[in-house]
Amino acid sequence: PPLQEILNLHDFEAIGRQIMPEKAWAYYSSAADDEITNRENHAAYQRIWFRPRIMRNMTTVDFSSSILGQKTSMPIYISATALGKLGHPDGELNLTRAAAKHGIIQMIPTLASCSFDEIVDAAQPGQTQFLQLYVNKDREITKRIVQHAEKRGVKGLFITVDAPQLGRREKDMRMKFDAESDPSEVSKSGSDKVDRSQGAARAISSFIDPGLQWSDLPWFKSITKMPLILKGVQCWEDAQEAYDQGLAGVVLSNHGGRQLDFARSGVEVLTEVVKHLGEQRGLTFPNEKFQLYVDGGVRRATDVLKAVALGATAVGIGRPFIYAFSSYGAEGVDQALTILRDEFEMNMRLLGAKTIKDVVPAMVDASNIGLH
Ligand code: FNR
């Protein structure tokens, strides 16, 4: 269908499923085990309700914001998703181009199909990009990646901490992964070492260090000045440890339901982190010094506004953008961001919030999630 007929982010999934290569669909859509967490990521938002305010002169609204001190036109960012060329020959560049047009930040994955430099080169002057890092068993390789990224102007390092081993994504495992299905840097680089018999995820992940631990963090701080964020924190105790170690923030995430099945949704974890770090460390959120991000299951501006009301600085979105470019290239991602922008404008008006700062805890009823 023509792009103009796409009305929301769910539509890209329905279309992507019909037209993208089977292997791409299996890798992109799959989640761990029985996919209960993947389902819960959506369901959790459906348990949160709004308490809108009225009569506040909603002639104009402004939903621009900032992430790690970098400007963004909306409190969202494009989260890292590997293997963009499975769905479209331009891979991650589709995201870079649309992000530039909308003033949105792209998180570049370690396992991008395009090379890191290609993705940075495709950015416009002043466009912000972050890097998602899978930590290599060979720390010299990791050091090289990190320092190169910093030199190329990357503004934040998101270290993925929820994947000492990749989850069991059975839809993906049923597919054989070969260089033909992903003509990318990733599949070329590991060609002699990888097991290609069990899907894309298993084929590309063997270098990730399962030995990563808290005591490694000072080393990361010693090799870069970029703000460090842990991606994949799932309880307040670990969020507090990250704060105590002086990190810039955490992403409360279950990796789009692709790692531990029965992990809770990010927005549910958010409520406990805000409560406990308030009690234990006197923090209030959103907080400039220690920022909370959430991802997983976000498909509407209303989802984003709920997380922001509960204390998130911004929210990451993964699958909708890869479904969008798999079907329509960069124009699809452009349309997805336009849809979100329009949703923000309308829902901020209906909520009675003129700016993101006006989106406060009292605007939601979250009594059905979090701590009781
Ligand atoms: C991911 N995600 C991910 N995360 C990460 O840290 N490194 C990675 O390489 C990938 N790769 C990846 C591939 C695909 C196909 C998906 C769907 C996801 C997780 C991603 O950053 C994010 O946490 C989730 O995608 C958020 O959930 P939604 O928005 O997809 O529901």
Q: Using the mean position of ligand 1's atoms as its centre, give its distance from the Cα of residue 38 in Å.
A: 11
The string of DSSP letters for 180-227 reads TT--SHHHHHTTTT---TTHHHHHH-TTB-TT--GGGHHHHHHH--S-
- What's the ipTM? 0.99
Measured from the Cα of 28, ligand 1's closest atom is: 15
pLDDT exceeds cutoff 50 at 191 = no
Q: What angle do CA 320, 172, 194 make, to 5 degrees?
A: 115
- Please tell me the predicted confidence (pLDDT) of residue 68: 98
Indicate if 255 belongs to the active site: yes
User: What is the rounded CA–CA span in Å between residue 143 and residue 82?
Assistant: 20
The arithmetic mean of pLDDT across residues 129-150, rounded, is 98
Task: Verify whether ligand 1 is closer than 6 Å to residue 299 (CB atom).
Answer: no
Confidence category of residue 312, pLDDT binned at 50, 70, 90: very high
pLDDT exceeds cutoff 90 at 232 = yes
- Please tell me the predicted confidence (pLDDT) of residue 205: 87
The interaxial angle of helices 301-309 and 330-351, nearest 10 deg, is: 50
pLDDT exceeds cutoff 60 at 256 = yes
> Among 10-14, 24-28, 190-194, 197-201, which is the least confidently predicted range?
190-194
pLDDT exceeds cutoff 70 at 55 = yes
The arithmetic mean of pLDDT across residues 33-39, rounded, is 97
Q: What percent of the chain has pLDDT over 70?
A: 94
- Please tell me the predicted confidence (pLDDT) of residue 190: 45
Three-state SS for 250? strand
User: What is the rounded CA–CA span in Å between residue 192 and residue 183?
Assistant: 15
pLDDT exceeds cutoff 90 at 370 = no
At 317-361, the pLDDT tens digits run: 999 999 999 999 999 999 999 999 999 999 999 999 999 999 999
Residue for token digits 């037209």?
19
Q: Is-contact 75 304, C-beta < 8 A?
A: yes
Q: Give strand pairing partners of 295.
A: 316
> Among 29-38, 180-189, 213-222, which is the least confidently predicted range?
180-189
Please name the residue whose Cα sits nearest to atom 6 of ligand 1: 160
- Please tell me the predicted confidence (pLDDT) of residue 60: 98
Measured from the Cα of 322, ligand 1's closest atom is: 15
Whether the model clears a pTM of 0.90, i.e. scores above it, the answer is yes
Question: For the chain, how long is the longest CA-to-CA vector?
Answer: 65
pLDDT exceeds cutoff 70 at 192 = no
At 165-190, the pLDDT tens digits run: 999 999 998 987 776 666 666 655 54
- Catalytic residue chosen out of the listed positions 27, 28, 134, 293: 134
The interaxial angle of helices 36-45 and 266-281, nearest 10 deg, is: 70
Q: What is the mean pLDDT of the chain?
A: 95
- Please tell me the predicted confidence (pLDDT) of residue 204: 80
User: What is the rounded CA–CA span in Å between residue 371 and residue 245?
Assistant: 25
Task: Verify whether ligand 1 is closer than 6 Å to residue 167 (CB atom).
Answer: no
Q: Which residue pairs from 279-282 have beta carbons closer than 8 angstroms and sit at least 24 positions apart in sequence? A: 280/240, 281/240, 281/243
User: What is the rounded CA–CA span in Å between residue 148 and residue 28?
Assistant: 28
Q: Using the mean position of ligand 1's atoms as its centre, give its distance from the Cα of residue 361 in Å.
A: 27
Task: Verify whether ligand 1 is closer than 6 Å to residue 82 (CB atom).
Answer: yes
Measured from the Cα of 319, ligand 1's closest atom is: 30
pLDDT exceeds cutoff 80 at 200 = no
CB atoms within 10 A of CB 193: 9
Q: Using the mean position of ligand 1's atoms as its centre, give its distance from the Cα of residue 161 in Å.
A: 13
Task: Verify whether ligand 1 is closer than 6 Å to residue 253 (CB atom).
Answer: yes
User: What is the rounded CA–CA span in Å between residue 247 and residue 235?
Assistant: 16
Q: Is-contact 273 236, C-beta < 8 A?
A: yes
pLDDT exceeds cutoff 90 at 287 = yes
Q: What percent of the chain has pLDDT over 90?
A: 90
Q: Using the mean position of ligand 1's atoms as its centre, give its distance from the Cα of residue 245 in Å.
A: 25
Q: Is-contact 293 312, C-beta < 8 A?
A: yes
